[in-house]
A and B are shown apart, each in its own frame.
Chain A
Amino acid sequence: MKLLRHDLHTLTGAYALDAIDGVERERFEHHLNRCQSCGQEVRGLQETATRLALAVARVPPPGLKAAVLAGAARTRQHSPLSDTRPTAEPRLVRRPRVAVAFAAVATVLVVVLAVALVLQRRQLNSERAEQRAVAAVLAAPDARILTGPASVGGTATIVVAARRHELVFTSAGLPVLASSKVYQLWLIGPSGAASAGLLPEASQGRTAPVLASGLVPGDEVGVTVEPAGGTRQPTTKPIVLIKVAS
């Protein structure tokens, strides 16, 4: 059974509806891992299928709740597939205690590896310097990870190297913006907000790391939605705001 690339792409709909089985499904999933636009489309279509499901909601039988709750009480839960607890926490994580330092280091390693993968794919020489700067933040002995939810959905993660006055910002799951808008990163202190650049377009829901310099203890890291090209000062309410404790 030979499938051309074009044929594979038209399977997004059938896949979102669970209407492909077996080998064909596996092949499509394999393709999905490498095709960003397919992934984006599949997610939108899966959310659409959910609306079809909600439209046929029914009152469940009376005995079901008791049976399910009793079943849960005696059913062992799966462990997470990988141990990434600090980033799995959707709220602001600020744990200065030594006990969690080890976990934080492990997470830094995960981020380093993820960033390394992203960097590996970039081939432009001009980006080398920034890559080294990003790597230096991640490798800083005082590197800390903070995460915060975005009010529009998604999560922001920053690695702060306070002594270098730098941080690296990444995000996952922020909604895709119209081409006339961008996400802009800010360092916000008592004297106002300073632009720290625009977030690159997300790839598979994640934005590539952005390096921000000039960080002062007590600053807040914010993200706003701005017109394409960015602005000098924020014009909208931040969708992400993370306080960098001194």
Chain B
Amino acid sequence: MTSPHIPGPDVGDAGGDGTGRDLDQLLALVARGDQTAFEAVYDRLAGPVFGLICKVVRDPAQSEEVAQEVLLEIWRSASRFDPVKSSATTWAMMIAHRRAVDRVRSATAEVLRDKKSAVAAVAPDIDEVAEAVEANLERERVRRCLGTLTDIQREALTLAYYGGYTYRDVARLLNVALGTIKTRIRDGLIRMRDCIGVSW
């Protein structure tokens, strides 16, 4: 496979780019204005940040714009990262997802896409080798674990996370009661957590 290498944080934020530092330590340096450390942070996070934003925002030009905002936000707020509350990668991904979601929710508030196209649009690109991550263990594991969910759990989860819909929109799209969708999202995510083996 000739897929390009996407630098990304490996599981647990351990350093893998020769700096010998993990993301937590790099962020602590960035918080003090260290631009070299920020470049290392960029190398670890740009791929995951850009990928997630593309998934939610879809339009490539807009995605690049949002990714730039997010990466600068990471530079600006590095001092506010708290390792007690989340891992460094999760802190960054929460910023990225929030920004991406803000962009699409303001744009598509009234135009709720119909279920079929919405579900199709957010299905993870399982067969798209063109975009494959080189060390794609993570991708493979997520794909496999998504496969263990019920259809409604999987649709609800992907619509909410990759589609950027609120759970209320998801309920409307899937034509399921609000209470049901809340539980499906939670149950699905818990199942994913246990399947992937996330320990926190």
Choose among A49, A51, A79, A175 the residue with the greatest number of B CB atoms under 10 Å from its CB: A51
Residues of B138-188 whose CB lies within 8 A of A: 138-139, 141-143, 157, 160-162, 164-167, 170, 179, 182-183, 185-188
Asked if A81 CB lies within 8 Å of chain B CBs, one says yes
Asked whether, in the complex, the Cβ of B79 is within 8 Å of the Cβ of A77, the reply is: yes
Complex Cα–Cα for A65 and B7 (A): 13
Asked whether, in the complex, the Cβ of B31 is within 8 Å of the Cβ of A80, the reply is: yes
Complex Cα–Cα for A65 and B39 (A): 8
Asked whether, in the complex, the Cβ of A48 is within 8 Å of the Cβ of B189, the reply is: yes
Asked whether, in the complex, the Cβ of A57 is within 8 Å of the Cβ of B48, the reply is: yes
B2 to chain A, nearest CB (A): 12
Partner of A58, one of B47, B89, B143, B170: B47
Residues of B82-138 whose CB lies within 8 A of A: 83-87, 89-90, 93-94, 96-98, 101, 105, 124-125, 131, 133, 138
- Range for the number of chain B residues in contact with chain A: 35 or more
Partner of B46, one of A54, A65, A76: A65
A13-B185, A77-B31 known; A21-B166 Cβ under 8 A: yes
Complex Cα–Cα for A40 and B85 (A): 10
Asked whether, in the complex, the Cβ of A16 is within 8 Å of the Cβ of B198, the reply is: no
Asked whether, in the complex, the Cβ of A56 is within 8 Å of the Cβ of B124, the reply is: yes
Complex Cα–Cα for A206 and B84 (A): 9
When A and B form their complex, what is the total count of cross-chain residue pairs whose Cβ atoms lie within 8 Å? 219
Asked whether, in the complex, the Cβ of B51 is within 8 Å of the Cβ of A56, the reply is: yes
A18-B97, A60-B47, A72-B35 known; A13-B90 Cβ under 8 A: no
Complex Cα–Cα for A166 and B157 (A): 51
* A64 contacts across to B, CB distance below 8 A: 46, 50, 64, 67-68, 71
Q: Which residue of B lies closest to A12 (CB)?
A: B186
Asked whether, in the complex, the Cβ of B166 is within 8 Å of the Cβ of A19, the reply is: yes
Complex Cα–Cα for A206 and B192 (A): 26
A26 to chain B, nearest CB (A): 14
Partner of A49, one of B46, B64, B161: B161
Asked if A98 CB lies within 8 Å of chain B CBs, one says no
* B183 contacts across to A, CB distance below 8 A: 10
Complex Cα–Cα for A182 and B175 (A): 47
Asked if A75 CB lies within 8 Å of chain B CBs, one says yes
Task: State the interface size on chain A (CB cutoff 8 A).
Answer: 59
Asked if A44 CB lies within 8 Å of chain B CBs, one says yes
B77 to chain A, nearest CB (A): 5
Residues of A80-129 whose CB lies within 8 A of B: 80-81, 88-90
Asked if B57 CB lies within 8 Å of chain A CBs, one says no
B92 to chain A, nearest CB (A): 9
Residues of A60-80 whose CB lies within 8 A of B: 60-61, 64-65, 67-69, 71-73, 75-80
Complex Cα–Cα for A76 and B79 (A): 12
Asked whether, in the complex, the Cβ of B6 is within 8 Å of the Cβ of A59, the reply is: yes
Asked whether, in the complex, the Cβ of B200 is within 8 Å of the Cβ of A69, the reply is: no
Partner of A14, one of B67, B71, B160: B160
Partner of A90, one of B24, B142, B179: B24
Asked whether, in the complex, the Cβ of B189 is within 8 Å of the Cβ of A173, the reply is: no
Asked whether, in the complex, the Cβ of B78 is within 8 Å of the Cβ of A52, the reply is: no
Complex Cα–Cα for A60 and B4 (A): 11
Asked whether, in the complex, the Cβ of A175 is within 8 Å of the Cβ of B160, the reply is: no
A77-B79, A154-B84, A205-B84 known; A13-B188 Cβ under 8 A: yes
A56-B124, A75-B75 known; A173-B83 Cβ under 8 A: yes
Interface residues in chain A, defined as those with a beta carbon under 8 Å from any beta carbon in chain B: 7, 10-14, 16-21, 40, 43-61, 64-65, 67-69, 71-73, 75-81, 88-90, 153-155, 172-173, 175-176, 205-206
| Given pairs A64-B67, A72-B35, A77-B76, 7 additional interface contacts (CB within 8 A) | A18-B161, A45-B190, A58-B54, A60-B64, A64-B68, A68-B68, A69-B39
